[in-house]
Structure 1
Amino acid sequence: MPCEPRPRKRKTPYRAPRWSSRVYVKLEQRHIALFKFLLEAHGHLGLMSVADRHAAILKVSYSPDCQREMREFLDEAREALPLEVVALP
């Protein structure tokens, strides 16, 4: 009598957050593309959009579960780029 494999247990996925966390980053216009490539190189940690192209302020949206990873990314990016995290009302 052949032994049939047991059905796999379905793992319940983590709960998706209801909203995204945001951080605003100010840097020089010529560094926007490099910042985007660095963000993509870290496994698409967040989504970047330009909030103000004249002032070169970027809005980075990310999962609240990845807050620690985002802080680590920003610290690493500061070593490669002159950037500052800004608080907007």
Structure 2
Amino acid sequence: MASPSRRRPRKRMCPPAPDWSARTYVRIQPSDIGLFRFLLEGHDNLGVFTVVNNRQGILLLRYSPHLKREMGAFLKQAATEMELEILPAPLRA
């Protein structure tokens, strides 16, 4: 009796480490900052954020550039839970 053949899982190729993180600024209600952190952590720490202005609820999200599509999907989903506005990036001097 022949044993069933088992395929070895294919190794996933990771993209090379980027030189810079992608950045996105968002504005939410200051009272929703804790909820936003909870939702982001629930997505396997897709990125990290820094509170730029806690009175206006402005956050700076940093994430790997190859995860831009996933971050966009996360922000779209988070917008169903809270009021969320994606802000234009400030000009660099």
Q: What range is the shorter-chain TM-score in?
A: 0.7 to 0.9
Superposed, 1:23-42 pairs within 5 Å as 23-42=24-43
What stretches of structure 1 move > 6 A for 4+ residues in a row? Answer: none
- Alignment partner, residue 46 of structure 1: 47
1:12/1:77 Cα in 2 relative to 1: closer, same or farther (>3 Å)? closer
Check the 8 A contact 2:24/2:89 in 1, yes or no. Answer: no
Superposed, 1:40-79 pairs within 5 Å as 40-79=41-80
Uncovered stretches (5+) of structure 1, i.e. residues with no partner: 1-10
User: Under a length normalisation based on structure 1, what TM-score does the superposition of the two structures give?
Assistant: 0.83
- Identical-pair percentage: 41
Alignment RMSD, CA only? 1.7
Instruction: Give the aligned length.
Output: 80
